[in-house]
Amino acid sequence: MNRAEWIAATLVLTAMIAPGVRADEVTYFEKDGIKYQKIRQVNQRPITELRYEQQQSTAYRERYTTDLQESQRTYQVPVTEQQWVPGYQRSWNLLAPPVLSYRLMPVTRWETRSETVRIPITKREVYPETVTHQVPKYSTRYAEEETVRHVAIGTTANGTPSVARTESTGLAAPEGEAPREGSTDWRGGLELRR
């Protein structure tokens, strides 16, 4: 990769990483014999907002119902009655003839009967139900963020060099207006504040 291709790739990468950075706006002004450089930079800062939207969906639910259904049932029932049953009786005398006699005895017979019974029958139903959800939605907007820096680049009236730098974020001072002065220390430089 030659140098031109490397510079082009670097510029493309920089444009992708920092799309909201604009070029600096540089102006100059003087105050109290000191020349200042005012650097104003406006950046696009992304702000992500969260809001909730209602979204409907259909869910299928199960429902079980139990009904009683009538049905005919046939069954056998024993019926016992007392009846006179004929029979021969013999005595201890082997030569005597048997005698016909009737005895009262229980006699059981089976009868067929039918009845109506109620049978429980369970049914399964699947029915649709509309459900409302709160769905988070993210949206990104860009807000301008302004940074203003004042740099003393000249000398004072008596020839003493000054190296001072201040930075402020937010709205800049009107054009031509110098920042307010803070503490003065010529050994460490002149610190100026807006």
User: Of the candidates 33, 54, 38, which has an alpha carbon nearest to the alpha carbon of residue 133?
Assistant: 54
77-105: pLDDT as tens digits:
999 999 998 988 888 888 888 888 889 99
DSSP state of 161: B
**pLDDT at position 9, please?**
64
DSSP codes, 33-75? TEEEEEEEEEEEEEEEEEEEEEEEEEEEEEEEEEEEEEEEEEE
* 151 backbone dihedrals φ, ψ, rounded to 5°: -125, 125
173-193: pLDDT as tens digits:
444 444 444 333 333 334 444
**Measured on CA atoms in the order 172, 177, 182, 183, is the torsion positive or negative?**
positive
